[in-house]
Amino acid sequence: MKPSGRGRFITFEGIEGAGKSTQLERMHRRLRDEDRQVVLTREPGGTPLGERLRGLLLDPEVGAMAAETELLLIFAARAEHLREVIEPALAQGAWVLCDRFTDASFAYQGAGRGLGAERVAVLENWLQGDFRPDLVLLLDVPPKVGLERALTRGKRDRIESEDIAFFERARSAYLQRARADVGRYRVIDGGADLETVAAQVDQAWESWWRGIGG
Ligand code: T5A
């Protein structure tokens, strides 16, 4: 069956410095060159209100907050993003490429902060119903590699200031989710050089797209 006129929702996931933004921008250029309608966006953020919430969530001066507060702020930003950007773009037939989505909440708040997957799932189901990404490209790197890359930017943000065990838990949760749903997830070795990762990303989404009749 050929894909319907609805757009496609593709998310890039992985811990800090996995190479998501780099690969996302590359895929965005490629799809645009093919004259597809593409929206590039990110979480937390993607709307004026969401970007302000992102500022609060990442500002080291905000300091500690209850894990529940963090999760609810992220879902508040997500509600805005979903209703104002993602759903309208998909309805118009665009491909939406998103730097992180709800998988990050399972990884960071569910596993990293220890809130547990069940509580994240309650919010996911409440906000999203059965809406999920069509494809999740998970760039997997050991936290040491990812954090070293991310820190070349300089100052750590509020979440990057967590210890390595936090990112180990997040990475494990991502991999566990990918193993549980191999149809929607592709795991890519983000530790390889840029060109090798780019080739793996292309191969992953092209084979997925062919697989659904695109
Ligand atoms: N968050 C988010 C939650 O806690 N819960 C949630 O539900 C959501 C949605 C967002 C933060 O919010 C948290 C997670 C995050 O802590 P962010 O800035 O969107 O923050 O995410 P980061 O992961 O922090 O972004 P980074 O920019 O650090 O990581 P990327 O996008 O994975 O990496 P990228 O592409 O910017 O690359 C980083 C550096 O590495 C180089 C790049 O050139 C760049 O310098 N690089 C490579 N170097 C060598 N080899 C490669 N293959 C490379 N790929 C990239």
Residue-wise pLDDT tens for the chain (214 aa)?
455 679 999 999 999 999 999 999 999 999 999 999 999 999 999 999 999 999 999 999 999 999 999 999 999 999 999 999 999 999 999 999 999 999 999 999 999 999 999 999 999 999 999 999 999 999 999 999 999 999 888 888 999 999 999 999 999 999 999 999 999 999 999 999 999 999 999 999 999 999 998 8
State which of 25, 100, 102 you would mutate to test the pocket of ligand 1, scoring each by most atoms of that ligand within 8 A of its C-beta.
100
* Token pair for 175: 């991999």
Find, among 94, 39, 50, 89, the residue nearest to 73 by Cα.
50
* Token pair for 212: 């659904």
Which atom of ligand 1 approaches the CA of 105 most closely?
Answer: 7
The residue whose CA is least distant from atom 38 of ligand 1 is: 17
Q: Give the type of residue at 142.
A: P
* d(CA 150, ligand 1 centre) in Å: 6
DSSP 213: T
Cα distances (angstroms) measured from residue 130 to each of 80, 102, 161:
17, 12, 33
Find, among 118, 112, 146, 110, the residue nearest to 14 by Cα.
146
99 touches ligand 1 (CB under 6 Å)? yes
Rounded to 10°, the helix 67-81/48-58 angle is 160
The residue whose CA is least distant from atom 1 of ligand 1 is: 104
* β-pair type (8-13, 135-140): parallel
- Quote the pTM value: 0.97
